[in-house]
Each structure stands twice: as structure tokens, then as C-alpha cells.
Amino acid sequence: MTTPALLKYAAALGVLAMLSACGGASTAAPPSSAAAGAYRYVGRTLFVNGRPVTAARPPSALLRYATILPDHHAKKKFEYIFNSYGTYAGIFDYPKGVAQIGAIYGDGGQGCTNVLYGYGKGYVWNVGGQTQITEYKVPQTPVKTLSFGYSFPTSCAMNTSGDIAVGNYDGGQVVIYKNATGSGTGYTTPLDEEFFDGYDDQGNLFADGFTGNRSGFGLVELPKGSSTFKKITTSNAVQFPGSVQWDGTYVTVFDQIANAMYRYTVSGTKATLKNTIQLSGSSDCAQTWIVKGLLYCGDAGNNVGEVFNYPAGGSPVATFTGNFDFPLGVTAAQK
């Protein structure tokens, strides 16, 4: 990092310290910054402070801090923006407001909940530790943890039966925890690096990442009842793996480089592109989450959380304000 950049970063921390010292509203000091850390690429994979991340780009701006107001009122719907691994998750209550209303420290990475799309029912999961996955009762009460036997957990998805699927970056494996309990069963995939996963409404599990000696995009499927992942060929080219999610009609894959959501029908080993939703104004939606009429984006490149109309796409209709430290994940749930 250059000397001017270090001075700007120090100034940003000084502003935060002054905010923390002010009376009235309260804020907690953030953990050590991923945005101030060391970036490097190994092939097409970005490493931050020695840990692989599922974003395509590092932040283009310094950390953004805002005072967090205490949450004195019962909230019904919440959105979670998960920052870099091991840091924190910001909690929001859009559309009531765009300001951060709380945080869960020690988290980061990716999140998921117990619905295929929309607002989860009372609970969210976070995959952000080195070897651990944590369940929270909405909005921020830890309930239980699951152990992960591989090196770098990445993705997080749940089916309608309550099974949770967690991907592993280094080797591309996926571990499935039946009823979100136990030690899980590991499955080998054709991927070299696993980035994101998601179930469809039939119980089939899809995952994406890099394949071909970690050089090209790969999409794979574990059909319901099967023990073997198979390669899926997309009818269009995807430049960089992004979120995989069912949207109520289609299996969707986000392309972090193109800033586009691809909607597919899948038959056999082929995914046929039916529609493309283009986002403008975003830099790098590392993970997205679809609710009715909206898409939430953890924008690693712009270092913010953003809201888009779905399936219309276009420019953001709202931008969250709060504490952001290299956003990588997003999900949503209600009490």
C-alpha cells in the first residue's frame, strides 16, 4: 500500500474514533480491516491476507463507516451483509431504512437461510470461520455451530428439508449436513475451486467455481438422491463464478465480471440461457440474495451493500450505509 493510501486509511480510522467518542448513538470498533490488508491473485482467485475469497475484485474505495444506532424497536425483516472472513456482518432493515442497525462480530464470508429465495424463517447461517459454520436466531443470537473438516469453507445453501450444503475452496468439495446437524458428508466435485452453491425447488444442488486447472468457469449439479456431481454446460460464456440461487422460476448464476444475472433452465447436462438481468452501478456483487421484487448485493468492489429491482435489474434503488469491510456475502430473514 502506498504512503498516501496509508495516510487516508489512518484518517478514516481517526474519524471512526471520533464518532465512537460522541454521546448519544453508539458504535462498536471494527475488527482489523481486510480493506487495509494485502491483496494478491493466484491464477484468477483473489487472496486477502493469505485467505482465498469469493470476490473477483478488491475494494476500489476505503472503508466506509457510519454510526450504528441502537436497535430499540422490534424488527420483522432483516438483511445481512457479511464482510471479509472473520470480521463482522452488518444488519439492516430495508425498506424501513438503509442505515445499519446492528452487527454480528467474528463473522464474514457468505450467508444463507432456510428458504430457496425470499426472507428466511427465523434463522440464518454464516460460513465465515476457518473451520466453523454458525447458525443464528434472527436477528443475532447464536444457536449452534457445525464443524468443517476442510481448509477454507466458502458457500452456503439450504434446501426445503433443512439440509445445509457448504463448499470448500481448495479442492472444490461440498459437505452436506443432513438436517443441519452432525459432521456432514463430503462430496467430490469436478471443480478445482468451489465458490457458490444453491438448491433448486426439486432438491437438486448446483455449485460453481473454477475448473480446468483453475482457469475457467465451471457449473456442476448433484441431482437429488445422487451421490455424484456432474458437469453442466451453459449455453453462454460465464466469465467469473458468482451466486447460484433458485429465483422461483429459474436456476440463476451471477457473473461477477459482467455484473449480470443469468437465468437458466437445466435439462440433463445443459443449462440453457433464458434471460439476462444486467446490473449497472455495481462493481462486484460477490454474493447476491433474491427476495420478492428485489435483489440484494454484497458489493466487494464498491465496498457497500446495494439493492436492485428484480428481475428488472438496472441501477441500484438503494445503497446501505454502515460499516463495510470488503463485503462478500448477503442473505435475508424475518422473525
Local confidence band at 121 (pLDDT 50, 70, 90 cut-offs):
very high
Average pLDDT over residues 53-68: 63
**Domain housing 90:** 30-334
- pLDDT band per the 50, 70, 90 thresholds, residue 47: confident
Instruction: Using a pLDDT cut of 90, give the percent of the chain over it.
Output: 71
pLDDT of residue 52: 77
Is 20 a member of any domain? no
229 and 221 Cβ atoms separated by less than 8 Å? yes
Residue 6: pLDDT over 50: no
pLDDT on residue 17: 34
By CB neighbour count within 10 A (0-12 exposed, 13-18 middle, 19+ buried), where does 272 fall?
middle
Banded model confidence at residue 36, pLDDT cuts 50, 70, 90: low
Q: Is residue 109 part of a domain?
A: yes
CA angle 77, 79, 130 (to 5 degrees): 135
Is 232 contained in some domain? yes
Report the range out of 3-12, 35-44, 145-154, 184-193 with the highest average pLDDT: 184-193
Query: Are 307 and 319 within 8 A, CB to CB?
Result: yes
- Mean pLDDT to the nearest integer, 49-77: 63
Query: Quick check: 12 pLDDT over 50?
Result: no
> What mean pLDDT do residues 305-312 have?
98
pLDDT for the residue 33: 59
Q: Given this model, what pLDDT does residue 104 score?
A: 94
Query: Sorting pLDDT into bands at 50, 70 and 90, what band is 11?
Result: very low
pLDDT for res 203: 98
The predicted structure's pLDDT at residue 98: 97
In a domain, residue 11? The reply is no
Task: Please check whether residue 19 lies inside any domain of the structure.
Answer: no
Task: Share the mean pLDDT of the chain.
Answer: 86
72-81, 145-154, 195-204: least confidently modelled range: 72-81
Does residue 120 form part of some domain? yes
Residue 23 in this model has a pLDDT that exceeds 50: no
How far apart CA 11 and CA 16 sit, in angstroms, is 9
**Domain harbouring 40, CATH code:** 2.120.10.30
Are the CB atoms for 31 and 88 separated by under 8 Å?
yes
The mean pLDDT of 23-44, rounded to a whole number, is: 56
Residue 148: name the closest of 163, 134, 162 by CA.
Answer: 134
pLDDT value at residue 127: 93
Give percent above pLDDT 70 in the chain. 84
Task: Dump pLDDT digits (tens) for 167-200.
Answer: 998 899 999 999 999 999 999 999 999 999 999 9
Q: What is the pLDDT confidence band of residue 61, given thresholds at 50, 70 and 90?
A: low
Structure-model confidence comparison of residues 319 and 34, the more confident one: 319
Quick check: is 17 in a domain? no
Q: Note the pLDDT of residue 103.
A: 95
Q: Domain total for the chain? A: 1
Mean pLDDT along residues 253-260 = 97
Q: Which residues make Cβ contacts (< 8 Å) with residue 68, sequence separation at least 6?
A: 25, 26, 27, 28, 99, 100, 101, 102, 103, 322, 323
Within a domain: residue 62?
Answer: yes
The whole-angstrom separation of Cα 328 and Cα 89 is: 10
Work out the pLDDT band at 37, boundaries 50, 70, 90.
low
pTM score: 0.84
* Residues in CB range of 124: below 8 A, 6 or more apart: 80, 111, 112, 113, 135, 136, 138, 331, 333
Mean local confidence (pLDDT), 55-66: 63
pLDDT at 165 over 50: yes
- Beta carbons of 297 and 288 less than 8 angstroms apart: yes
**pLDDT tens per residue, range 211-223:** 988 779 999 999 9
Q: Is the pLDDT of residue 26 over 70?
A: no
